[in-house]
A and B are shown apart, each in its own frame.
Chain A
């Protein structure tokens, strides 16, 4: 089950924590699963409202979901934590949940991801849309589901995209404030597309699957221009899912979840026999997974 959440009005800055809570609760409502039966809850959002460091955002989402529990807020069975793996976090979270389901430690797990500008209007060159998404994973009864996960990283390009806080003493509006700076080199987009394509080819080689046997590619939506670059490199233009939205802002960690939601709603995901999840982010890190229906 997948749910997504965005600010009510695009003009509002959005609050990643509230958006994540809303996406998680909607996902719970739609699935009909009791929140007490969620054994593991992982939040993979990076840019958090007011830059809360502790507790984990996942525990705040769990608390909100607790109000929907039929067996009391404190089931004593859910464990939650935050995970950061840049644009690949959502897929890494899914991989961890899958491992815990396979080892029979849990029956259901949830990955929630959401980003918003931590310092509304003050951050420099922050271009991600305020949005959140949640997905519940459960044990499958047959061979359907995730079949293989692989991660690739290219740390020689770790300086291509850097986001960090710092003091700005030059700008009057930001005078002395501890704000977020995003620095993206011009070559970042090309490198992301190249490494994602290279990783996908390696991944397919390992699975024995041919590119034209894949039906759907659910991928990251950032950096801006990534999907069209990958279409040019890989081909299979109809297989990519692109989330278009108004303005220049792009979905970050929730991008692939929004793409999945789109194909979930129009039934393309259900019809697809082989779906590839392809995420890419800073590092440069690429994660790929195969889902078989």
Chain B
């Protein structure tokens, strides 16, 4: 028997400290970057301060998720930590033990199987893909997918290295910190929930965005060939989205909400226009959730879901398409038919 699955709850933890785009741009003193905030759609981002790091964001997001859930921690069967950054106790990158086994201990999920995955900004979506397979096969009933991204430190490296508006580190100015978590559960509701998830790695583009630990000091840095990765992402994702829609028996205009990976407003608008040209249709609404948070890496889709759930914008039966584009180059599509989770976040309709 193959089971169905759906989101039970979503949780988020945002740091409180704010850094505005204007503050960053003013420090750089590069005239061409004056409109950086306008182009990216990012006015500010939240960044970690003392006592906060990838781990604390992940744990707090997991606790927030559990507070919205009908499950207790000891009922969670699997925990997958999906963050790119693994900073604990400040900017100390932890290799072992895994974050997931520490989170298990911190939240009291005594029976959970644990492991970490890393797949750039596609991390949490990859977690959904894996959890879905385990649930459909009947191996588990509940899975907590969690990620804490203390990624804003790459901005510090970029601030010292950006000399022109063509710098490969310019994308580092768009990022912000965030923790997010989601519980996926087994359900016998075959009308709502996860309709489809599909992922592909187009590895010929794997060198277009790379990030690593900084050898000379704490934190990391990232270099991106932004124009090339944007072009590749747009052109290569279209047939994958088309295939996903065909498999789901949906047309593009039946998608109520499209949530792309949150990179910059101009990229999202340009991608949406390309999709409109190709499909001749457009989804109900394309979500841009960048203004106050920036690009929060692997957590960006779940941050957008959380915000829109809390703002009561989703209705039961809405079709949500989560479109994931990440360095690798990974293209992933998750199609979700909104379930009663909306009621848990206060939407009475």
Do the two shown chains form a genuine complex with each other?
A: yes
Selected contact of B201 from candidates A80, A96, A165, CB within 8 Å:
A80
CB interface residues, B 1-32, toward A, < 8 Å: 2
A224 to B284, CA, bound (A): 59
Q: Is A127 an interface residue (CB 8 A)?
A: no
Shortest Cβ distance from A78 into B: residue: B201
Interface of A is mostly: mixed
Q: Is A5 an interface residue (CB 8 A)?
A: no
Which residues of chain B have C-beta atoms less than 8 A from A46's C-beta? 95-96
A208 to B118, CA, bound (A): 36
Which residues of chain B have C-beta atoms less than 8 A from A164's C-beta? 88, 92-95
Q: Is A189 an interface residue (CB 8 A)?
A: no
Q: Is B174 an interface residue (CB 8 A)?
A: no
Taking the nearest CB of chain B, how far is it from the CB of A179, in angstroms?
Answer: 8
A119 to B213, CA, bound (A): 10
Q: Is A66 an interface residue (CB 8 A)?
A: yes
Q: Is A176 an interface residue (CB 8 A)?
A: yes
Q: Is B168 an interface residue (CB 8 A)?
A: no
Which residues of chain A have C-beta atoms less than 8 A from B167's C-beta? none
Taking the nearest CB of chain A, how far is it from the CB of B157, in angstroms?
Answer: 11
Please state if B215 and A119 are interface contacts (CB–CB under 8 Å): yes
Choose, from B37-45, B204-212, B271-279, B309-317, the stretch at the interface. B204-212
Q: Is B117 an interface residue (CB 8 A)?
A: yes
Selected contact of B204 from candidates A66, A118, A155, A156, CB within 8 Å:
A66
Please state if B328 and A59 are interface contacts (CB–CB under 8 Å): yes
Per-residue contact bits, chain B 210-248, to A (CB 8 Å; 1 contact, 0 not): 111111111110100000000000000001100000000
Taking the nearest CB of chain A, how far is it from the CB of B170, in angstroms?
Answer: 17
Taking the nearest CB of chain A, how far is it from the CB of B145, in angstroms?
Answer: 13
Selected contact of A73 from candidates B94, B118, B204, B328, CB within 8 Å:
B204
Please state if A165 and B213 are interface contacts (CB–CB under 8 Å): yes
Which residues of chain A have C-beta atoms less than 8 A from B164's C-beta? none
A161 to B280, CA, bound (A): 56
Which residues of chain A have C-beta atoms less than 8 A from B96's C-beta? 46, 84, 86, 161-163, 281-283
Please state if B119 and A99 are interface contacts (CB–CB under 8 Å): no
Q: Is A158 an interface residue (CB 8 A)?
A: yes
Shortest Cβ distance from B94 into A: residue: A164
Shortest Cβ distance from A156 into B: residue: B105
Q: Is A153 an interface residue (CB 8 A)?
A: yes
Taking the nearest CB of chain B, how far is it from the CB of A79, in angstroms?
Answer: 4
Q: Is A77 an interface residue (CB 8 A)?
A: yes
Which residues of chain B have C-beta atoms less than 8 A from A56's C-beta? 118-120, 201, 328
Please state if A86 and B216 are interface contacts (CB–CB under 8 Å): no
Shortest Cβ distance from B80 into A: residue: A83
CB interface residues, B 300-327, toward A, < 8 Å: 326-327
Shortest Cβ distance from B114 into A: residue: A153
Q: Is A203 an interface residue (CB 8 A)?
A: no
Q: Is B343 an interface residue (CB 8 A)?
A: no
Choose, from B64-72, B130-138, B251-259, the stretch at the interface. B130-138
A54 to B94, CA, bound (A): 15
Given contacts A78-B201, A83-B116, A282-B98, 6 further A-B contacts (CB under 8 A): A60-B206, A77-B200, A81-B119, A164-B93, A165-B93, A178-B216
9 cross-chain pairs, A with B, having the tightest CB-CB distances, nearest first: A155-B105, A63-B203, A81-B119, A282-B97, A282-B96, A62-B203, A85-B115, A51-B213, A54-B120
Sample (6) of A-B pairs whose CB atoms are under 8 Å apart: A50-B213, A54-B210, A56-B119, A77-B200, A82-B118, A156-B105
